[in-house]
Amino acid sequence: MKTQYDILEEARRGDNNLRRNDTFQFRRDDDPSDEILGLEGDVKKIHDWILCPDKELQKIAIVGLGGLGKTTLARLIFNNDDVSKHFQKKIWVSVSQTFKEDDILQKLQENLGRQPASQTGSTFEDGLKQIISQLEEISCLIVLDDIWDNRRLDWWKKKFFPALSQSSHKQSCVIITTRDEGVANAIGVDESFVHKPKFLNEADSWSLFYKHAFAKVEKNCSEKFKDLGKKIVARCGGLPLAIKTIGGLLGSTGSLHEWNGIWKSFCEPSITKENDVITSLQLSYKALPVELKQCLLSFSIFPEDSEIEAEKLIQWWVAEGLIQDTERGFENLSKLVRRCLVEVVKKRGYNLRIYKCRMHDLVRDLTLVMAHDEKLCFFDCEGKQNFHTDSRWLGFTREMDAESLKKSPKLRALILMNKDHAQFHRNLSSLHSLRALDLSNNKLDKVALNNLFKWISSLKRLAYLNLSEAKGLEEVPDSIGKLRNLQLLVLSGCTNLSKLSSSISYLKKMVLLDVGSCDKLPYLPHGLHRLSHLQELSGLRLELQTNKRSCRLLELQHLRELRVLRIRLSNDSEIIEKERNVLSELKKLKILAIDFDIVEKSEDKHLLDKLDMLCPPSTLEQLYFKRYNHERLPKWVSPESLPALVYLCVDEGRCLADISCKSEAMSWNIEGLCLKELPQLNKDWKKLINEEMKLLRYAEISSCSKLVNFPDHMDDKPVWRRNQHR
Spatial distance between the Cα atoms of 184 and 193, rounded to a whole number of angstroms: 10
**Pick the residue with more confidence: 258 or 186?**
186
* Distance between CA atoms of residues 34 and 381, nearest Å: 32
pLDDT band at 13 (very low <50, low <70, confident <90, very high): very low
In this model, does residue 131 exceed pLDDT 90?
no
d(CA 387, CA 333): 28
pLDDT of residue 605: 64
Mean pLDDT across the stretch 466-476?
A: 94
Q: Which residue type, as a one-letter code, is found at position 47?
A: H
**145: pLDDT strictly greater than 70:** yes
Average pLDDT value over all residues in the chain: 82
In this prediction, residue 28 carries a pLDDT of 31
Residues 214-234 as b/e (b if ≥16 CB within 10 A, e otherwise) read: beebeeeeeeebeebbeebbe
Phi, psi of 596 (to 5 degrees): -120, 140
Between 291 and 245, the more confident residue is 291
Which one is predicted more confidently, 512 or 664?
A: 512
Q: CA 658, CA 661: separation in Å to the nearest integer?
A: 9
Q: How are beta strands 385-386 and 378-379 bridged, if at all?
A: antiparallel
| Domains defined along the chain, listed by start | 32-116+124-195 (3.40.50.300), 202-287 (no CATH), 290-368 (1.10.10), 621-725 (no CATH)
Nearest to 564 by CA among 540, 595, 592: 592
pLDDT of residue 34: 52
Confidence class of residue 402 from pLDDT cuts 50, 70 and 90?
low
Let me know how many helices (H) and strands (E) the chain has, helices first. Answer: 23, 28
pTM of the predicted structure, to 2 decimals: 0.72
- % pLDDT > 70, the chain: 82
Residue 23 confidence (pLDDT) above 80: no
Res. 117: pLDDT tops 70: no
Q: Looking at residue 224, what is its pLDDT?
A: 78
Give pLDDT, residue 342.
86
pLDDT attached to residue 595? 93
Predicted pLDDT of residue 533: 96
The reported pLDDT for the residue numbered 651 is 94
Q: What angle do CA 684, 686, 689 make, to 5 degrees?
A: 110
220, pLDDT greater than 70? no
Give the CA radius of gyration of the chain.
Answer: 30
Query: What does the pLDDT read at residue 265?
Result: 67
Angle, helices 276-286/361-373, rounded to nearest 10 degrees: 60
List all residues 6 or more positions away from 101 whose beta carbon is below 8 Å from its beta carbon. Answer: 124, 152, 155
Mean pLDDT (whole number) for 210-231: 77
How much is the average pLDDT of 129-136? 81
In three-state secondary structure terms, 37 is: coil
pLDDT value at 587 more than 80: yes
pLDDT band, very low/low/confident/very high, at 279 (cuts 50, 70, 90): low
Segments in 408-557 forming alpha helices (H): 446-455
Q: What pLDDT is attached to residue 437?
A: 94
Give the highest mean pLDDT range of 14-18, 120-124, 406-410: 406-410
631 vs 608: CA distance, rounded Å: 10
